[in-house]
Amino acid sequence: MDLTRISATDLLKQLANRNVSAAEVMRSTLDRIAKVNGEVNAIVALRDTDELMAEAKARDNGPVTGPLHGLPIAVKDLVNVAGVVSSQGSPVFKGVVPDSDDLIAARMRAAGAILIGKTNTPEFGLGSHTFNPVYGATRNPYDADHTCGGSSGGAAVALATGMVTLADGSDMMGSLRNPAAWNNVYGFRPSWGRVPSDPVGDSFLHQLSTLGPMARSPEDLGVLLDVISGPDPRLPLVSESASVSPVNTADLQGLRIGWLGDWGGTFPIEPGILDLCKDAMNVFETLGAQVEAVAPPFDAEQLWSSWITLRSFSVAAGLEPLASKKDHLKDTAQWELDRGLAVSAMEVHHASVIRSEWFRCAANLFDQFDALVLPSAQVWPFAIDLPYPTQIAGRTMDTYHRWMHVTVPVSLIGLPCLAAPAGFGAQGLPMGFQLFGPRGSDQKLLSVGAAYHAETNWPNKRPAMS
């Protein structure tokens, strides 16, 4: 039995029942990392082997400690982990070793996970392409000359190659969804407020980014989502949420799905992507769902105007302490910082009015449909040495992130969204779609995804290197 390839759900049951030891799982994990990580560069800041094996043996000699008992997990390198270099991909923090865990790391550790190191990310998580001056680029396991996406790119690649069975990520502008699509795995952006961020700085104004799980099945997503969900008394806007696990396969008879496609031509999309996503919609129809094309429900340029104002406002709030070191930041971080510092309070207000109008519009849509679907990305994985696409299908991109416009309708209003694999294009590269619903429909989306997964099982297609 290959312990790096079975599902997290099955592996955790075996660990809890003592049918397999944490030491065995750790040894298999470290062997797998040694075999494949050199080519893809997904795991960084890996802890000492002897320390990890000792921690695993201690788990075997003690009680079962929680739902993640004995499971090795590498944490996204935007998250502080006690005793592990936490650089955020930036030279400003190169070599920094925190003495305490951020909240999500603390929750995974308390649930019994063994935190083995980090997964690579772009500098400060900016841009959907995982490269940084500290660790370099993470490569796509299906074609090492191409990007894996981002910002949770290291996490997605680690999952795709069997180096971990569960991974955490974060998502502002598709950072859980884009790498899931480009690495043939699942990502889940939860309803905003389900998973808390750290109780540091402002806890009221910024509602664009959220933490979430990545895995090779919706059932496995649910395991980690339950661990990292739930309120913290220090945070005002985090909601109580019912458990989603176990994720049961939904009956899709009569399920109403709205297909938004390219938003009426507003989103330029490379050839083949829409066709592949439509093939995935055919799977839903085979399972009994009703899929209907939906005309653009809201002006995409208004969504974009609102988004870039609120995003720069939010990103600059995080980067402001580094303003005196701005010359040490990458150009896109400098651009976000400058825009955010220049925005006025009323500009933020007007952007949030548009956001509110879109939320009301989406609520009406969900009276007609149980879920809506968009592609997860507008382009196929691009060359590893390209910072970001500057044009799509002949249309010039006016910012470094305009090519991810397709993720904005979900992110702007904090909707739950399952990023699911849709298969492979003509060049053998993966792609996926976003299945999203109203706030609070997290469990339903995962159950719908479980039905799709049972029919397709796309993540079972292995990278060539394995």
Contacts (Cβ under 8 Å, ≥6 apart) of 48 = none
129 has a pLDDT exceeding 90: yes
- Identify residue 389 by its one-letter amino acid code: P
Q: Which residues of 420-440 are buried (b: 16+ CB within 10 A; e: fewer)?
A: bbbbbbeeebbbbbbbbbbbb
All structural domains of the chain with their residue ranges: 8-460
User: Does position 231 have pLDDT exceeding 90, yes or no?
Assistant: yes
CA–CA distances in Å: residue 447 to residues 167, 377, 397, 419, 453: 19, 23, 36, 13, 10
Chain segment 386-398, per-residue pLDDT in tens:
999 999 999 999 9
Who's near 210: CB < 8 A, 6+ residues apart? 170, 171, 189, 190, 192, 194, 195, 197, 414
At residue 466, the pLDDT reads 46
CA torsion 289→293→294→299, rounded to 10°?
Answer: 130
Q: What distance in Å separates the CA atoms of residue 465 and residue 385, rounded to the nearest whole number?
A: 21
User: What is the 3 state secondary structure string of 190-216?
Assistant: CCCCCCCCCCCCCCCCCCCCEEEEEEC
User: How many residues are given for the chain?
Assistant: 466
Q: CATH assignment of 8-460? A: 3.90.1300.10
For residue 103, report the phi and psi dihedrals to the nearest 5 degrees: -60, -45
Residue 163: C-alpha distances to residues 23, 256, 421 (Å): 15, 37, 19
Q: Which pLDDT tens digit goes with each residue over 347-376?
A: 999 999 999 999 999 999 999 999 999 999
Distance of CA 176 to the CA centre of its chain: 2
- The residue type at 33: I
Q: Which residue has the tokens 């500290």?
A: 134
What pLDDT sits at residue 463?
Answer: 53
Report pLDDT for 462.
Answer: 67
For the stretch 257-272, pLDDT in tens is 999 999 999 999 999 9
Q: Which of 140, 206, 135 is nearest to 170 (CA)?
A: 206
Helices (H), ranges, 17-81:
22-40, 49-60
Residue 464 has pLDDT above 90, yes or no: no
Tens digits of per-residue pLDDT, 7-36?
999 999 999 999 999 999 999 999 999 999
Mean pLDDT across the chain, nearest whole number?
97
Tens-digit pLDDT profile for residues 272-297:
999 999 999 999 999 999 999 999 99
239: pLDDT confidence band, cut at 50, 70 and 90?
confident
pLDDT at 335 over 70: yes
